[in-house]
Structure 1
Amino acid sequence: MSVPPPKKRPSDLALRAISAVLLGPPVLAAVWLGGIAFDLLIALIAVLGLREWVRLAEPGQQRLPFSISLVAVAAVVATDLFSGAHAAVLLALGATPALYLAAHATRMKHRLLLAAGVPYIALSLVSLDWLRTENGAAGLSLFLFLLLSIWATDIGAYAAGRTIGGPKLAPRISPKKTWAGLIGGMVSAALAGFAVASWAGAEKPWLALIIGALLAVAGQAGDLFESHMKRRVDMKDSGRLIPGHGGILDRIDGLIFAAPLFALIHGLAGEWLQWW
């Protein structure tokens, strides 16, 4: 009697594709619709992302660190949703040292990293929400500009890194990343940003080339930072929530650094540049 061959597990690429097909449409629909759908998306990412951050920052114990961190991050995100980004940023500035003191009082080992979860998680999501909801009719196109710039960064960096190779960007943190990949990501993000700006009817779409390239650098920095956090606790992924992709933070690490930068650029210099 012949023994049936073992069942093949789906490849990582297949899992990534299936996850993207299943999760992509509802996420994009929430971005497109805005309003309460987008607010719920932001709140969900905050909770899931924070849980993964606590695993990276305080791997020895998670229940208490997550509980006190959730209070701080939830307060910032709720303030953003109900009172706006400016109030949320001010609260985050106060919540970060407060969380550090709470972590110190409960004798947590990595209290500084734990407290850093407030700006890392909350301020990035506040920036995303501000771009989408507090910029009127331009909110959707600005959000798409950021999102597509970061996606293009990942694609361009991967393609250039595999094709050209060359010197490593940060070999101790992420051995596969190269300087060629960084430049390829910057070029791809610049072109994607220019395409979105032109489609949206921006006043000066050529400025999108520069801003897109800057966002690519921020996105790659965010990727490297999360790689460092995972390496210090010997983790391959920040979580296992998304099959083939890892965790929430694995998917948005570039956005976490790029979103506040883009919000600052557009919020502080948008009117002066008159670019959108």
Structure 2
Amino acid sequence: MLRWRIATALILAPVVLGALLLGRWTVLALVLVVVALAAYELSQALNPLPFTAALGAGIFPVALTVPFGAGGVLGGVVLVLPWTLLCLAGRPEARTLRALLALMLMALWVGAPMAMAALIVRAEDGVILILIAVVGPWVSDSGAYFAGRLFGRHAMFPSLSPKKTIEGGLGGLVLTMGAVGVVGYYALGLSPLQAVLAGALVSVFSQSGDLFESLLKRMMEIKDLGNTLPGHGGMLDRIDSLLFTAPAVYYIFLLV
């Protein structure tokens, strides 16, 4: 499993870096691809949720950031309401509370955070910030994995993720504080305290995103939301932390 995770990461990393080097429109295209894969996985996991309905719910917040910036995120989420009516009106088999809530989830959990990821790239130092949002969870996961393997004794949330330990979580927190702290201090000009606190928040939100998806999978009684990425499950299993860290980075670095 670890071998497949590393191999997939080695493939994904150049794709992300290449998109960043090519500019904001390439990043936007990559974001739309990720949203489309996430919509497909969610529609399969929550059948008979129509794929087109899930796709629109995820894309609207991203698409509206192009002409309207940050205001487009909220506008896109609100637009999902009439879109839901349009998509489900002619599909009696899909008119369920589960499908309705899934579309709201797609907009709020996937669409809005990915829209913020697209916005981050457009900001000053945007490449560094999006790398913090993307790589920060990888650092946190690595620290948590190895600290958990070496020192893990106490389960963090056994009913959600039995393998996660408090010691592992602290290991991820410390490693991310160090990594993001160095980048924040030297590349972004933050004070040492600001840089370390930013790293701590990235790790906390990263681990929260992972636990949130674990909660969803427990509720749906499934192991993975997809199988498109060997060793990682599906796209949603890979970006679960990013969906929490992208908004965190947006507000921590751009607004504060």
- The percent identity for this pair of structures is 33
Compare CA radii of gyration and give the structure with the larger one: 1
For 2:27, the equivalent position in structure 1 comes to 38
Residue 29 in structure 1 maps to residue 18 in structure 2: yes
For 1:117, the equivalent position in structure 2 comes to 106
For 1:262, the equivalent position in structure 2 comes to 249
Residue 85 in structure 1 maps to residue 74 in structure 2: no
Would the aligned equivalents of 2:65 and 2:115 in 1 still touch at CA under 8 Å?
A: yes
For 1:152, the equivalent position in structure 2 comes to 139
In the aligned structure 1, how far is the partner of 2:188 from the partner of 2:111?
31
Residue 18 in structure 1 maps to residue 27 in structure 2: no
Would the aligned equivalents of 2:56 and 2:83 in 1 still touch at CA under 8 Å?
A: no
Counterpart of 1:108 in structure 2: which amino acid?
T
Corresponding residue to 2:43 among 51, 54, 68? 54
TM-superposed CA distance for 1:176, in Å, is: 0.4
Corresponding residue to 1:72 among 15, 39, 57? 57
TM-superposed CA distance for 1:109, in Å, is: 3.9
For 1:198, the equivalent position in structure 2 comes to 185
Counterpart of 2:111 in structure 1: which amino acid?
A
Would the aligned equivalents of 1:52 and 1:239 in 2 still touch at CA under 8 Å?
A: yes
TM-score by length of 2: 0.89
In the aligned structure 1, how far is the partner of 2:4 from the partner of 2:97?
36
Counterpart of 2:152 in structure 1: which amino acid?
G
TM-superposed CA distance for 1:15, in Å, is: 2.8
Offset from partner CA, 1:51-72 (integer Å, 9 cap, x none): 223334x2x314x2x2222223
TM-superposed CA distance for 1:153, in Å, is: 0.7
In the aligned structure 2, how far is the partner of 1:39 from the partner of 1:104?
28
What secondary structure does 2:163 align onto?
strand
Offset from partner CA, 1:230-273 (integer Å, 9 cap, x none): 2233322221111222111111111101211221222332xxxx
In the aligned structure 2, how far is the partner of 1:248 from the partner of 1:43?
12
What secondary structure does 2:164 align onto?
strand
Would the aligned equivalents of 2:152 and 2:168 in 1 still touch at CA under 8 Å?
A: yes
In the aligned structure 1, how far is the partner of 2:21 from the partner of 2:246?
17
Query: Where do 5+ consecutive residues of structure 2 fail to align?
Result: none
Would the aligned equivalents of 1:52 and 1:249 in 2 still touch at CA under 8 Å?
A: yes
Query: Where do 5+ consecutive residues of structure 1 fail to align?
Result: 1-11, 270-276
In the aligned structure 1, how far is the partner of 2:24 from the partner of 2:88?
38
Corresponding residue to 1:249 among 223, 233, 236? 236
In the aligned structure 2, how far is the partner of 1:172 from the partner of 1:38?
37
Shift in CA distance, 191/169, structure 1 to aligned 2, threshold 3 Å: same
TM-superposed CA distance for 1:74, in Å, is: 2.1
What secondary structure does 1:142 align onto?
helix
Would the aligned equivalents of 1:197 and 1:208 in 2 still touch at CA under 8 Å?
A: yes
TM-score by length of 1: 0.83
For 1:185, the equivalent position in structure 2 comes to 172
TM-superposed CA distance for 1:91, in Å, is: 2.8
For 1:130, the equivalent position in structure 2 comes to 119
Superposition RMSD on alpha carbons, in Å? 2.1
In the aligned structure 2, how far is the partner of 1:148 from the partner of 1:265?
16
In the aligned structure 2, how far is the partner of 1:225 from the partner of 1:123?
16
Counterpart of 1:233 in structure 2: which amino acid?
M
Would the aligned equivalents of 1:144 and 1:196 in 2 still touch at CA under 8 Å?
A: no
Relative to structure 2, which stretch is displaced further, 15-24 or 240-249? Answer: 15-24
Relative to structure 2, which stretch is displaced further, 16-25 or 167-176? Answer: 16-25
For 2:96, the equivalent position in structure 1 comes to 108
What secondary structure does 2:156 align onto?
strand
Relative to structure 2, which stretch is displaced further, 226-235 or 95-104? Answer: 95-104
In the aligned structure 2, how far is the partner of 1:185 from the partner of 1:100?
39
For 1:274, the equivalent position in structure 2 comes to none
Residue 167 in structure 1 maps to residue 154 in structure 2: yes
In the aligned structure 2, how far is the partner of 1:228 from the partner of 1:153?
19
TM-superposed CA distance for 1:103, in Å, is: 7.5
